[in-house]
Each structure stands twice: as structure tokens, then as C-alpha cells.
Structure 1
């Protein structure tokens, strides 16, 4: 793709946001006017899937354009290998000034350790993995302190079972991310820049500001999608998580929730998404006010989804329901990309790196495994076609021990293979789009199951590292 300048990149990445949380794309209960405007001004990829339903492997994947098995960053708590090259490094090497505010999570930062960094290309790095003041180096905590505030006092609001009134909006981490983005955008006019806005919301706990929580009446919220008796055909992982989220007794007691509890959680989750939307609006206004909107590619997406009570589950992997692996993705560049276009073809987050490189006239390295979306963004491709299938992986990544799963999804079927066990999931998405009836053990579906297992294995093999290049016949 030929361009007459180097466009800026504004990458808006939320954490754990479901695909169905945008008003303009079908959710009539949620308020997202600013993301709606992005949808109108850009291209919405409505069938986009992450490459792992957990933070670190997903982020390492979409920031390198490579699959989790290839980055070798497969679990929360691992450090991305130093020889991996992130998209921010690629743009820094191309002369861009790169910045970040919020979460990165390409390395462990538990137990008070600050996340270690590889050569990631960020010149302006304002790190805040999550809002809690667990590290003196938390830039958000430092910002609060500069305003005479402490997180502990601001977070002292009432709690009602599974929902809590969180930090007031003006002192919220999402607001801080927007403040940092606004400062960066204003300070870097006149040179190409790349900025990552990485808020922690709407990741659990479900704790929006009281002002936003008041916007959503729990009585108006839908109940999660659950079919009576469905757990009987599901995996052991799901049966455990239906009692305690992430199989972590003493934390989020899923099995004890009432319908009112579930509606309150959904209301809180929507409120968190609305706060994000308002801050996106502030950042977008800054682009307009500084005259940079037409020369800025804007991406809005999330690293993975949230079960939100569907199938009796909360949080994320090792589950591969669309609630966890399907994510929002909107890309906008008024000067060069289509507007108000919906692409329904299957898309992966691994496709973002080659898309940005091609859009900015940069070479796509041979190690990158994604497929550029530029033909769709410029209206040169069939919006109903991009990939034959999408692939996602989970390798003992979080609280469940020995949970190794790979998922292959086509337009009409989905299979999840849990390796080292005889368990799995198979869904007919035409007859059962909500994934209630697991056909894994059904005698009349064994031929389809065998074919999809083969295709899933093929996807796994073909996802191996394309580098180093072959230099000769021997």
C-alpha cells in the first residue's frame, strides 16, 4: 500500500472486553457513542478471535504477529524471549516515537516484581499493570499521589456481593491512561508516533465508579446464556469453574450466585465499558483538536473476552467459547480506509502486525505469521472472506493445572481438543450458535470430530515458526 506520509498509530487496547459490548454493533443496552463513531468512521471486523484466552500469551501474539507456540510466551507468568520483536520495536526502528500507558504484561509482575522488558521500542513508558498500588513504580499510583490521593482511600466504596463501587472516574486508571495519551499526542505533533493505550478495565473485579454504575439498572440486564443440564456434557474444567471461577476456592463463588447477582455483575461490566468509551472520546477529540485525525490509524480492540456468566462461568480460559476468544476490533483511518464497513470474514488478532506494517509502507518480516487486513480496509477484498478458520491455544496458562487446549473454529463448526485427556468440545454453530450442546461424545458426529481434530492438528503444525529461513537445499 502506497502512502504519502507516515501515519501515526493510536492503539486502544482494553483488557477482557467481550465482542458484544458495542452499541453500534448490536448491544442496545450499553452506551458507547465514541466507539460507535469509530465504527462509523472505520471498518469493524465482527468475527475477530484472539490466539489465547489469557492475557500474556494473547498479548505476546498480537504484538509480534506470531502464534503463542511460536513466541514461546504461552503462559501468564512467563517472560517473552528477548529475541522476539514487538510491533512497537518495528515502528521505533522505522523512526516512530513510541509510547505506552497502562498494561503491557509480556512478563511476570506478581509478588511485587516490576515487569521486566525486552527491547520493546517504547521511548515513553508509563507502566501500570493494574490499578492496585502493588509496586512503587506503578505510574498510575504516582499520578494519584501527585494529586494528593491514594488508591486505598479512593477504593473504600461499598461492596454488594460480587460488585463494588470503585475509584471515582476522575481518578480512575482508565482516565489516567487517557490523560497520558492526550499528553503524548499533544507533545509529539510534527513527527510520526505510535501510542499504546492499555487500560486494565473491564477486567475483573467488577468495580466501576459509582457514577457509571448508576447508569445501568440491574433489572434491565439480561441473564447470562445458560441451558439447564448443559454441564453434564462439558469438561471437568468447566464443572469446576461453575463452582468457583478459575477453580480458585474462596475467591469468586460462581456456584452461589443468584440471578440478581448475575444481573448486577453484567450492569457493572457494562458500566466499566462505558467509562472506557468516554475516555476514548477524550483521546479522539484531542486528535481532532490537534489536526492529526486524518493522519492517524486508530485501532480499538481487546486482548480476550469475558464469560460474564455464560454457561455458568466467569472470567476467561481455559475455555474457548466465543465469549472468551471473540473480541471487538475496529480500525479507522479516514484518509485511506473505508468507512462504516463491516467485515464478517474470520479474522485473528495475529493479523494486526502485518496490517499496520503494510498500511505504513514498511516491510513485513518473514517471521510474522498474520495475514494483512489492508485489502479489507481499502475495500479491495470480499468482506465475507478472510480466513477459512481461526485458531486459539491454551498451554497450562493460568490456574488450572495440566490444562492444554487448542481450538479451531470455522464459520459452521468449532472443536476444542484438551490434550492429554479424552475430553473435548464439538459444536455445530449453525444449529447451536450459543454452544450449549457438546457433540464430542455423540456417535453420529464422530466422523466430523475426526476431520476437525485433523484440521486442528494441521493448524498447530502450520503455526510453527517460519524462521530461520532455509538457505539452500542442504
Structure 2
């Protein structure tokens, strides 16, 4: 629920922003392209040895990309609500995929877009508190399982297939490229874009893939054979090091997918093929916008909501913990006014920073209650406080005590196992119970839980986080530094809503920075 009523009148008026007629005429278009469950490092720009994302790689190296961009929580609804509201899950109250009706926020992205005179469209997956048909001028909803009841006969056929298939289809998909959802989504997005004339527009292209159900058509199915993929850096042998939540997820996967260890190489191959299919559709979208003259006045951001194990720890999909494979996300900014940097930005940024950045692009004030910060100064080559982006925090868990391996409830009784092959949900009472907080700073990463148990990793030397250095006297100074950083973040993220009703002035930096030069 929105909380505008809490604002005092002077603050509410200030939060609306003052957009002049001249600024309105020169506002750039904004295109947000979001995938679902795309791991950040499966790309050439980060050293992946296969051409999985060649177009976005080239776009990134000609514009700006972050190699330390993070989700707010490695779960779809919490992350996407953070994107739209600019608030962390502890503030939105959406800490699971089942708490969307509990969303708590002030003015959000759709409100700012409307106030700034933007025409708006969303094509693809929603999974937020937004009612797409109410807040966007044009919207078409796509889910992971398609739609077997609406759309063209071809779309209904694909929807029937997606709904009836198990969680993964290990053969080439019987549906060609033109019937795949990413292609259909880009087609509808382009149809809408080509009709825009006078007002600036915002387009949200939300692709449900490469999230399961895992399936991909030729030629993508055969592009990256299992034997061509680089070896994994961890396996089921490391589960004891990672703890009970990882072990419970492994047990669930083995229950739902008895052959999962045998199938992981093929599933990795399909995942890579899905990424290449998506990359080709992003190329199609942006190149057609270039051909129609829209590129030069448009800002593009390409990102994901969270990552994927991709076989790491002998696991698939997502669920347990806050490893880099799940928390770090791709983030590329391109287009109008972006100052190119061939090397990645090493600043730590978050999905919550996207809304404040859009506000800067539109010339609007950042709404009260937003916890993210504007990236626009750094994207446009201006000075910004490096200390502000020296670290980043990620949240996980819905609270309570941790579920253990010895709970009396079964996977099927809990609801995370449907009884069908590959029909499981890695986000469940075992993996999501309790509370985790993660902070990344430099090459180091600290994780703490509600019982005071800690993890400390050197990501440069241990990228899959197997060697826990927490409590190691050799690294006591680093541990203390990150504990202080995490405590500082915890204080910064205390929800400012509602702001005081009377007299007190609520002081903020225009970019929502806490540190300045």
C-alpha cells in the first residue's frame, strides 16, 4: 500500500519535482530490459569463453557496465518490488514471492513516470505489486508457463507445452524461434515503440527467461554442447561446507529430479542457449530502434533480477544462501548521455539504484522513502563520492528460526514439491527461513545470520565461497571492517517512512547519497 498520506504538505510538494516545459521537450526515452534469473558472469565481458552474449558484451564495452551490481534479494518478487520502489525488501515487506500484497512504499517508478509526462508500456513478466493494465498505457503479460488460453493459436500452443512439460525439457524445443516468448515480447515492444510520436516514452521489456522451465529451440540448443562448457569450480562435495540450507535444497532437487547430477551438463548447455537467444532478441530490439532514429534519444539499461547456480555446488536454479552466483546481476547502461568506459565500473551498485537514476534522467526529485542512490553522475562522467559506492548489501530470509533437515514436515506437505518430475520450488521454508545479510566490499564478502553465525570470503581467491575465513585471526581486521560496514548499512536502511508529520525537516542529498566529496 502506498503511504503518501504520511508526508507533510511542504515535503510532499517538494517531492513532486519541478519539470519545466523545455525539460519536458528534451527528456530522453527510457528502455528497461530485464531478464529473469540471469547469472552475471556467463558472458564474454567477464571472461566466459563462449559467445553467449556477444551483442550485450559489445554494447557494454562501448558504454558502461558494472561488474559489482547486486540484487536486493535473490528472489523474483522481492527484487522486482525493490526495482519499482527503490526500497529494500526489509522496507517493502516483500521478503518472499508470497508477500506481494503486503508491499509498503511511497511514490514509485510508475508515479514519477506519470508526473513527468511519459507514455508507458510493459511487455513481459510482472511479479510485482503493480497492476500492469492500470499503471501502463500499454501492457502485455507473459509468465514462465506461457498462456494456453489467450493470444494467437501459436502462443496458445506454446503455453500448453510450457504448462504440461516438466521443469526442464532436455531435447530441442519443438517450437521455433518466432514462437518463443523472448521473440514475441520484442515483437510487441517494437510494435508499440513505432507508434510513439510526441511524448517521451518508457518501455519495460521483461523477459521471463532463462528462468525455468528450461527449454530452447534450435539453433540455440546445439550452440553450446555440454562438453564445450568450462568446468564447474564446486560440486556436491562442498555442500557440507555450505551448510544445511544448501543440503536441504540438494535433497529437494534429488527428490524432484532423480537424475539431476546426470542432467546438469545438458541443463547448463540449455541455459547458455537461452541466454544467446535472448541476446539476439536484445540486438533485434536495439538495432531496430537505431534504424528508426530512436536510439540517440534513448537511455537503455539491461539487467536481471537475480542469478542462477548454473550447476555450482551441484545445484540448479536458486534457493539457498547468498552466493555470488545468485546475488550478483548483470547491469549495462547505454545510449543518450552515457559516457563510454571500456573497462567495467568497479563501484558497488544495487537494483534499488535504478529508480533514483531514472529520476535523474527525467529531471525529477527522488521520492521520499526511496533507499537507492542515483547512478547518473557516474554514468555521465561527472564527479561522485567513491565512498558512497564502496560497498553494497543484500538481504535474504523471511524471519523466524531456521528450518532444519529434521523437520517433521515433508517437501510435498510444505508445497515446494509438486510430486511431478522437476516440479520443485527452491524458495521454500528450508532455504528462506531465518535472516541473512550480506555485504560486499572490495574483494571481500561477509555474511551474517540472525544467530550471529558468520561467513567471510576472499572472492578473488575463492570465487565460489568454499573457504570460510570468519573467525580466522589472520583476517580479524578485515572481518571487523566488514562488520562495521554491515552495521552502517543496517542503520542506513531503517525505513524513513513515515517521515515526521510536524515541524521536523527531513534532510536528504539530491542523489540520495550519504557520503559526499
Instruction: Tell me, yes or no, if the aligned pair for 2:121 and 2:137 is still in contact at 8 Å.
Output: yes
Q: Are residues 158 and 371 of structure 1, via their aligned partners in 2, closer, same or farther at CA, if it must alter by over 3 Å?
A: closer
**Residue 265 of structure 1: aligned partner:** 267
Alignment match of 2:92 (pick from 71, 81, 87): 71
Q: TM (normalized to structure 2)?
A: 0.79
Alpha-carbon separation, structure 2, partners of 1:83 and 1:227: 40
User: Where does residue 389 of structure 1 map in the other structure?
Assistant: 391
Mean Cα deviation higher: 16-25 or 175-184: 16-25
Decide whether aligned partners of structure 1 residues 123 and 423 sit closer, same or farther in structure 2, where only a CA change above 3 A counts: same
Question: Which of residues 121, 144, 147 in structure 1 aligns to 2:135?
Answer: 121
The whole-number CA distance in structure 1 between the counterparts of 2:224 and 2:302 is: 23
Partner of 2:189: 181
**C-alpha displacement of 1:190:** 2.7
Relative to 1, partners in 2 of residues 1:406 and 1:252: Cα closer, same or farther, differing over 3 Å?
Answer: farther
1:382 Cα offset (Å): 7.3
Q: CA RMSD in A?
A: 3.1
Does the CA-based 8 Å contact 1:96-1:193 persist in structure 2? Answer: yes
Aligned mates of 1:39, 1:87 — CA distance in 2: 25
Residue 113 of structure 1 aligns with which residue? none
Structure 2 counterpart of 1:458, from 473, 488, 506: 488
> Aligned-pair distance for 1:228?
7.6
1:165 paired residue number:
172
Task: Give the corresponding residue for 2:125.
Answer: 103
Structure 1 228/21 Cα, relative in aligned 2: closer, same or farther at 3 Å?
closer
Gaps of 5+ in 1: 108-115, 137-141
Q: Within 5 A, what are the aligned runs for 1:328-347?
A: 328-338=330-340, 340=342, 342-347=344-349
Distance 2:266 2:464 in 1: 22
Structure 1 match to 2:208: 200
Write the distance in 1 (CA, Å) between the matches of 2:151 and 2:165.
24
Matched, 1:151 2:154: no
User: For residues 158 and 95 of structure 1, do their structure 2 counterparts lie closer, same or farther at Cα, with a shift above 3 Å needed?
Assistant: closer
Cα deviation for residue 422 of structure 1 reads 5.7
Superposition pairs of residues 18-417 of structure 1, within 5 angstroms: 18-80=39-101, 81=103, 83-107=105-129, 117=131, 121-133=135-147, 136=149, 142-145=150-153, 147=154, 150-151=157-158, 163-166=170-173, 167-226=175-234, 229-245=237-253, 250-253=255-258, 256-258=260-262, 261-338=263-340, 340=342, 342-381=344-383, 387-396=389-398, 398-401=427-430, 402-417=433-448
Contact 1:14 1:198 in 2 (8 A): yes
Measure the CA separation in 2 of the matches of 1:122 and 1:101: 10
More displaced stretch, 203-212 vs 28-37: 28-37
Q: In structure 2, the residue corresponding to 1:125 is in which secondary structure?
A: strand
* Shift in Å, 1:373: 1.0
8 A Cα contact 1:344 1:385, kept in partner: no
Could you report, residue by residue, the CA deviation over 1:172-217 in whole angstroms, capped at 9, with x for unpaired residues?
1111110111011101133211011001101123211132111111
Q: Which of 434, 456, 459 in structure 1 is aligned with 2:464? A: 434
Q: Deviations over 1:412-443 (max 9, x none)?
A: 32122222x46442213344233121234656
Gaps of 5+ in 2: 1-18, 400-426, 506-517
SS state at 2:219 partner: helix
Distance in structure 1 (CA, Å) of the matches to 2:223 and 2:143: 27
Alpha-carbon offset, residue 338 of structure 1: 3.0
| CA deviation after TM superposition for structure 1 residue 444, in Å | 5.7
CA distance in structure 2 between the aligned counterparts of 1:330 and 1:207, rounded to whole angstroms = 26
Instruction: Tell which deviates more after alignment, 174-183 or 147-156.
Output: 147-156
Q: Tell me the SS of whatever aligns to 1:244.
A: helix
Give, in whole Å, the separation in 2 of the partners of 1:279 and 1:16: 17
The residue number in structure 1 matching 2:421 is none
Query: 2:92, 2:105 within 8 Å by CA — same for their partners in 1?
Result: no
CA displacement at 1:59 relative to structure 2: 0.6
Deviates more, 1:438-447 or 1:228-237: 438-447
Return the alpha-carbon distance in structure 1 between the equivalents of residues 297 and 31 of structure 2: 11
Deviates more, 1:236-245 or 1:283-292: 236-245
- The question of whether the paired residues in 2 share the 8 Å contact of 1:51 and 1:348 is answered with yes
Q: Partner of 1:16 in structure 2?
A: 37
Deviations 1:85-142 (A, max 9, x none): 33133112211111111111015xxxxxxxx7289731212112223337x4xxxxx3
**Per the alignment, do residues 32 and 157 of structure 1 end up closer, same or farther by CA in structure 2, a change over 3 Å counting?**
farther
State which drifts further: 185-194 or 400-409. 400-409
Question: How many Å separate the matches in 1 of 2:218 and 2:276?
Answer: 12
- Give 1:335 deviation, angstroms: 4.4
Q: Which has the higher helix share?
A: 2
Distance 1:450 1:86, change over 3 A: same
Question: Could you tell which deviates more after superposition, 19-28 or 270-279?
Answer: 19-28
